[in-house]
Amino acid sequence: MIAVYARQSVDRPDSISIESQIEFCKYEARGAECRTYIDRGFSGKNTKRPAFNEMLSDIDSGLVTRVIVYKLDRISRSILDFSNMMLKFEECRVEFVSSTEKFDTSSPMGRAMLNICIVFAQLERETIQKRVTDAYFARSQKSFYMGGRVPFGFALEPVVLEKVKTSRYVKNAEEAEIVKLMFEMYAEPATSYGDIVREFQRRGITRFGKPWERTRIADILRNPIYVRADMDVYEFFNSSGAIIANPPEDFIGTNGCYYYKGKASAERKQKSLAGNHIVLAPHEGIVDSAVWLACRDKTLRAKQVHTGPKAKNTWLAGKIKCGVCGYALVDKHYQNRNARYLMCSFRMNSRACAGPGTLHTPEVEAEIFTQIQNKLATFATLTKQSAAKANPELTAANIELAQVNAEVTSLMAKLTDANDTMFRYISARIEELDLRKSELTIRISELGRRDIAEFGELTHHVESWATLDFDDRRLVVDQLVNVIRATSDKITIEWRI
């Protein structure tokens, strides 16, 4: 039996139809009995096609002696897949014919030419993929809408950018308020994803009629699509190694950002920002930059974030680690001895750690309390800055500083290939820019101090610590301490201030 195989990935006016392919193939069969195998809407990049696999099954059963296709790329565009297929045809004594290219594997020359043509078929496919990828990247850098699911908090509207019809996001008023609430809650140091889920359940706040999940909340809190990007956001992404498509002066505290994974980035884009692309979007953001940055910083160090409700016995929970292995120390209460100890969780679970020694929880809390008092005593007065008004002069200085840094980086990259004349010019220019950088740094410092609107003073903070309740101590420790490492011989605190 002769098998006629036809495939069409997309039905377009400029592509040959399935019916025309079959007609050509049957002409090649010269009136012999044929069975047709048709795959509509399947690509030739792999062999995951139902009719194709059915044909291979019939070949294995010995029902097929010859396979005819309209053109070589109808059956495969992959060298590896084609080679495997030809091996199977050879084992089963099946001839392969391309009706328009006049290849017939019953002859040596036909087999040789067939292998050459399949190489060019794969080259064509990879070239098309490269063009599509490059076009996608070029469009993304111009802030065009690139498709995909519309983020929660937004709707989609048509717009024309650079004379090109595209789309942009607009706020969905009801959903945007939920997004704001989510960011404001998570910006609080002691709030976790679980706290937000429970509060939303209590209030009856749902997502498309379904309860919120931690993963969906985490996705939103990490997404710069929601931020009103200003110079602080620019500096954050710049210092994180992200590739920023727009100049610093475009970050005026209005637009959200598109975030794309870079070609050379090996890690997940949620985990690492380095090498990924940031592009200002044409829509207005929802969340202030200060709130968004606080949440983003918290998500980046999520493993160190622990919430008040989870800590029941000691206000050190989540911050104190075993000084031997680095795993968490947990408070264990032995009622028969009326004693509390800090135990290494790694040792408790697997006995793989030697343990930090004997650590009585009250004694460790007292020691850390003393160290916190000593730390706070170094500040005669604690001040709290109220919300300051926007300072255009400070913003302009920050923008100019970013521009100076960018020019210095560019000039430094050119030094290695410069001749003597160009080397002297670049060196002189870098000196000028370095001087200007120093002036701008001093100016920004002065404007920053002047920008402070008012202060709230706390002069008795050392004494006040002793009066704080359990939850307040947890909150203060989260603000002051990164991590505490403890053994029976030594307690080390890594401060955040």
Q: What is the CATH number of the domain that holds 438?
A: 1.10.287
Ramachandran class of 157: left when φ > 0, alpha when ψ lies in -120 to 50, beta otherwise: beta
362 and 262: one domain? no
**What's the pLDDT at 486?**
92
354 and 241: one domain? no
Q: What is the per-residue pLDDT across 131-141, written as a single tens digit (0 to 9) for each?
A: 766 666 676 67
Q: Beta strand pairing status for 66-69 and 34-40?
A: unpaired
**What's the pLDDT at 145?**
77
Place 285 in a pLDDT band, splitting at 50, 70 and 90.
very high
For 158-186, give the secondary structure using H, E and C: EEEECCEEEEEEEECHHHHHHHHHHHHHH
Contact present, 197 and 190 (Cβ < 8 Å): no
Q: Which element (helix H / strand E) includes 104?
A: strand 103-104
92 and 16: one domain? yes
In a domain, 144, yes or no: no
Place 162 in a pLDDT band, splitting at 50, 70 and 90.
confident
Reply yes or no on whether the pLDDT at 228 is more than 90.
yes
**What's the pLDDT at 104?**
63
Place 385 in a pLDDT band, splitting at 50, 70 and 90.
very low
483 and 445: one domain? no
73 and 123: one domain? yes
Domain range enclosing 377: 308-383+458-495
Sign of CA dihedral 237, 135, 132, 121: negative
**What's the pLDDT at 3?**
94
461: β partners: none
**What's the pLDDT at 387?**
46
102 and 50: one domain? yes
CA proximity to 144, closest of 57, 245, 243, 76: 245
402 and 314: one domain? no
Count of domains observed in the chain: 4
328 and 473: one domain? yes
Give the three-class secondary structure for 65.
coil
CA proximity to 169, closest of 182, 186, 185, 152: 152
Contact present, 360 and 340 (Cβ < 8 Å): yes
In a domain, 209, yes or no: yes
The rounded distance, in Å, linking the Cα atoms of 450 and 388 is 10
Angle value at C-alpha 470, between 466 and 474, nearest 5 degrees: 95
CATH number at residue 227: 3.90.1750.20
Q: Which element (helix H / strand E) includes 331?
A: strand 329-334
Reply yes or no on whether the pLDDT at 324 is more than 80.
yes
The rounded distance, in Å, linking the Cα atoms of 4 and 406 is 62
State the average pLDDT over residues 289-293. 93
Angle value at C-alpha 426, between 420 and 428, nearest 5 degrees: 105
158 and 99: one domain? no
